[in-house]
Amino acid sequence: MAHDAEPSSFELNARTFDRRAFLAVAGAGVAAGAAPRTVQAIELARLQDVQPDEAPAPAGIDLRTIMEGAKLARVEYTNAECEQTLGSIENVLELYDVVRAAKLENNEGPAEVFDPRLPGMEFTVREQPARFQRAPAAPLPMSDEDIAFASIAQLSQWIHNRSISSERLTRIYLKRLKEYGPKLECVVTLMEDEAIAQARRADRELSAGIDRGPLHGLPWGAKDLLDTTNVRTTWGAAPFVDRVPQSDATVVSKLNDAGAVLIAKLTLGALAYGDIWFGGKTRNPWNLEQGSSGSSAGSAAAVASGLCAFTIGTETYGSIMSPSARCGATGFRPTFGLVSRAGAMSLCWSLDKIGPICRSAEDCAYVLDAISGPDELDESTIDIPLNLDMTRNMRDVRVGYLKDEFESDAARDEDRATLAALEGMGCQLTPLSLEGAPYGGIIFFIISVEAAASFDELTRFNLDDQMQWQDDAAWPNTFRTTRLASAVEYMNARRLRRRYMKRAAELFESVDVVIAPSRHGAMHALTNMSGHPALTIRQGFRENGTPFAVTMWGRLFDDGTLLAVGSELERSLGISNRRPLLA
């Protein structure tokens, strides 16, 4: 989930929806005055065959409660219907007790697993080796800062030809993390000892001829919702500040297998929303008076500041795209199901995605190649090969653009210049239109319900009072409000999501990539619901020196084409190497 000090249109829609939509009686609100029940008492009542009209009304619940609840549901019940409901509500409350007694863990998702594929869709299943642009040979810079900001291809080349050791590179990044991490408030846990040990292992392996690939020996940072063995993983929230997992997330394991060096656990907005965490507020490296946006706040701020070679973030609704745009990083949100989420905090099982945040689209491609693939620990993963080809000719790429938006007053001159750059690269441009719909409202409703379920006990036991951010739009109030939401409306919202998935599929019928001006709220909401990949890159700079971005979206499981287009566009725009003043 994203949260922005200067919210974009899709964030404003989400917050407005949080206050207004689909509030209804679901029993949690009415149950507040009910006496606690035990599973044994419930089973005894069943054995005694107590009928609804014979059971007493729960303590504190009367006819007025039902009538007021009907108002929340926006339905009208007659007095007789309210009386009948009052006589039956005990059955519903007993079921709540059964569910609550189960003590579900955060990683236990629902029986239904989201799949972005619609009937009739076909995908390539033949796996091809990844192809990258040939990195030009370059000498190792004299400046540690120049080394720190180098691309993955350059860093890998220097490490593999022994121009620099992994240990030295790790120490360069550790020094920068210690110097700039406190200013940015972007580090939860600095893993200095572990990182040095991993770097030395990488150097020994490379000296022995063991090559784990392009990420071998490269230091990286993990959003602090990815489990790490015996290293605390706090989810950015005070109630979990001492949480220490006993195993690694699949993404962490894959990067370890690739020889990468985990150097730091980076900040996130508490429970993956915003840039406010239990230790402060993560800052935009281009303007320390401004938050970094979120929720992958530390990941975007750190990599944009040259504090590590690459980072990993997560997105449910803007949490990779938004901080990448704010901090001038390049963020990639993969197709849903391409990257395993096992061992990552669950916010919304049907929407959570894990992806790289780097300093270029090509860097994102290197990382995605290492972390993608099916995983038996995450049943939402889908075995469709990535098949990266970063050398692809742009002349056979079809780019759809939202014509009305590019011609509106909301579009910047830079937006139109980016469109012209795509045409200059040889891409075939096709005008498109997107039918308006409450995409933002529907996705935020779905997220709110799933997130409230994920962190049910925070609300029930008032642990949410420990969280730093307590505004109306923050999780504590959202979770409380959502407990009054109707399960009927939630199911109908999911049905609407299916309709929107079909709408997104139609949008990509004749194009490979879609682009819209700046951060287009409707496309962010629609494609997060449909599972399509997205890429955010720098597009320009404001007069005050802060960057702003453009986002493009790709076809399902065609992530490689989107990354190839983004990489070529970065070269065409020629602004990706500019560094924040902090550095």
List residues with catalytic annotation. Answer: 223, 295, 319
Is there a contact between 224 and 256 (Cβ–Cβ < 8 Å)? Answer: no
Angle (CA) 241 444 238, round 5°: 10
DSSP line for 118-184: PTT-----S----B-PPPPP-PPPSSHHHHHT--HHHHHHHHHTTSS-HHHHHHHHHHHHHHHHHHH
For the purposes of burial, counting CB atoms within 10 Å of the CB of 96, is it exposed (0-12), middle (13-18) or buried (19 or more)?
middle
Three-state DSSP string of 64-77: HHHHHHHHHCCCCC
* 547-554 and 513-516 strand pairing: antiparallel
The set of residues, in sequence order, having a beta carbon less than 8 Å from that of 17 and lying 6+ positions away, is: 438, 440, 441, 444, 445
Closest by CA position to 301, among listed 4, 40, 580, 6: 580
DSSP line for 351-391: T-EEEEEESSHHHHHHHHHHHBS-BTTBTT--------BTT
**Block residue for tokens 């990815």:** 226
Three-state DSSP string of 263-309: EEEECCCCCCCCCEECCEECEECCEEEEECCCCCHHHHHHHHCCCCC
Closest by CA position to 30, among listed 62, 8, 53, 52: 62
Determine how many CB atoms are found less than 10 A away from the CB of residue 150: 22
For the purposes of burial, counting CB atoms within 10 Å of the CB of 214, is it exposed (0-12), middle (13-18) or buried (19 or more)?
buried
List, in sequence order, every residue forming a beta bridge with 536; answer none if it has no partner.
331, 551
Is there a contact between 152 and 411 (Cβ–Cβ < 8 Å)? Answer: no
Determine how many CB atoms are found less than 10 A away from the CB of residue 129: 9
